[in-house]
Amino acid sequence: MENLNGTERLMVISPHPDDVDFGCSGTIAKWSRMGVDITYVICTSGIRVRIFRWRRSRLPQ
C-alpha cells in the first residue's frame, strides 16, 4: 500500500494489545515514517482470563 491517496490519519483497531505487534507493526511503522498520524484502539485491557481446567469426568459427553 505505497500510495495512501493523501491519507493523513489512520485508525488501527485491535481486539488485544499484542495483535497489532504480531500482525501489522511493520506496515504501521512505515506509514508513520511517511508522516501519517496513527491512532490505536485496543478493545481489551490485556488482563489474562483465568482458564479453569475441568477433569475429563466433569465434561459433557
The conformation of residue 51, written as its DSSP 8-state character, comes to: P
Strand partners, 13: 41
25-52 pLDDT, tens per residue?
999 999 999 999 999 998 886 666 555 5
Please tell me the pTM assigned to this model.
0.61
* Residue 58 CB burial class (10 angstroms; 0-12, 13-18, ≥19): exposed
Instruction: Write down the pLDDT at residue 12.
Output: 92
Distance CA 36, CA 30 (A): 9
The reported pLDDT for the residue numbered 20 is 83
**Side chain identity at 9, as an amino acid letter?**
R
Q: How far is Cα 42 from Cα 44, in angstroms, rounded to an integer?
A: 6
